[in-house]
Structure 1
């Protein structure tokens, strides 16, 4: 099954191109488009493999509709940041060059689960408050290339971060209460997030763990400097590992949940690792522990 978002990235990859490349690798392809087909109905069809061709939004929506969690999937990253694919070791040519799926065994991939008064829902990349939700909510014009889109996103994040007042949110991390004010607080399952920023040292989804990333006022200037070349060194943040995180805002606060932004009131957010994993076939070059930094 090829699930394709034809408008991902700059929209330069056609159904015919992708299907032909996969057929050349010996795959029998059933095609579904996110722009014209119902994702749930597509993924309900019989298929040995799910190949998701798109960006982070496409991957997150597809994962949310995967009711048969033991059916493995892989990614052809076609979007802007491609945080999920990057975190898991997929590059644009990974599948098309025959590097996947090969004979590799599917790996468990644990997504996050949010418990709220309105019900439960999953997230794949991350949840957080502070500068990143503000930057995500800002439109960055019409970039001509993927690189320009990423650079615009990083500049917008730096702009939001430069004059942001720290927010006060009480957190309970695996039973330990943490109180303070933060410029950013992110609970991540992937190494990369936002405009392709390597904020977490490992892809926690492969280890059934969250990475909690905290940025306080004292390290604002260091973070602004890091954003100029984030691939060169680790970010100036506090890093914790956890399976359960409770956010308790003292007032209505903007949060981002994957690539959507919404206001969370004082009832808070209860985040837990989902014990029933998805299954992903990783590229053969993938190391057992993907790191966010070289």
Structure 2
């Protein structure tokens, strides 16, 4: 088996292993592997134009998305090695926290799953997302933060405070599998994975292999304190709040007002309204995961020794 390694050395946790060590781990799993240096998503195009038997994306969610966008709908599988800051895709696949070397060595006999992808028709063209697409307070915060700039927790907090302090619910008209919804909303997030951004678990029940998208809306019909939202998020009980709804559907259409709209960490906006259609692309991409570790066998009941007295004798 031949494997191509796509490695982002600038990812948040990428300093744990370098490209040479990643290649050695792949070779120990039985792969003929090589590394193709890339610095921008556009440089992936020639590398993946004629992919090998497996493409390994080692980096953060941005690296995983860039590779997945180029492999979706094709026959080449990919493997994910989480080496970023949030690693939401890896978390949804159940491999968050596993050491990169262990993941790669576990590909000797991989488990194979099919990953859903969000497919979007927008005024700027067709696009994809792996984690979430959305509008409202989070998209506006992301726009203020500018994800193209240097990553900074302090900048993120400042962007959040700046956005929240003046944000007002806006009317939004949308349809989920044909069911109409029209009301002022603070937030709309269409989730493919349970978490977005820095592991914010807006939809703990979301499963990127079930052929459905989780649509989270926060209306302005009941005011809840910031502490109330944070507590519910930490307890993974956000949908129990009176102004939060979670629907599962396959197709979403919304009348967009042009204000910030995000696809994963990418933000778009425009002057004037437009229409956005979102649908789940079931089983868009085959993903190889490390083989599950065998569970310890249940302890065997001790057998009586032939020379020992039986109970009761």
Matched, 1:59 2:60: no
Comparing 21-30 and 92-101, the one that deviates more: 92-101
Q: How far off is 1:222 after superposition?
A: 4.7
Q: How far off is 1:212 after superposition?
A: 0.1
Aligned to 2:297: none
TM normalised by structure 2 equals: 0.78
CA distance in 1, matches of 2:24, 2:232: 37
8 Å Cα contact 1:256-1:262 kept in structure 2: yes
Aligned to 1:195: 198
Comparing 34-43 and 188-197, the one that deviates more: 34-43
Q: How far off is 1:155 after superposition?
A: 7.1
TM normalised by structure 1 equals: 0.82
Comparing 119-128 and 186-195, the one that deviates more: 119-128
Aligned to 2:86: 81
The alignment partner of 1:198 has SS state of coil
Matched, 1:43 2:48: yes
8 Å Cα contact 1:50-1:71 kept in structure 2: yes
Q: How far off is 1:113 after superposition?
A: 1.2
8 Å Cα contact 1:89-1:282 kept in structure 2: no
CA distance in 1, matches of 2:54, 2:183: 45
Q: Which consecutive residues of structure 2, in runs of 5 or more, have no partner in the other structure? A: 294-313
Q: Residues 265-284 of structure 1: matches in 2 within 5 Å?
A: 265-275=272-282, 277-284=284-291
Aligned to 1:205: 208
CA distance in 2, matches of 1:115, 1:227: 32
Structure-2 change in CA distance of 1:6 and 1:268 (3 Å): same
Q: Which consecutive residues of structure 1, in runs of 5 or more, have no partner in the other structure? A: 287-294
Match for residue 239 of structure 1 among 246, 259, 262: 246
Comparing 109-118 and 73-82, the one that deviates more: 109-118
More helix by share: 2
- Whose Rg is larger? 2
Q: How far off is 1:24 after superposition?
A: 3.4
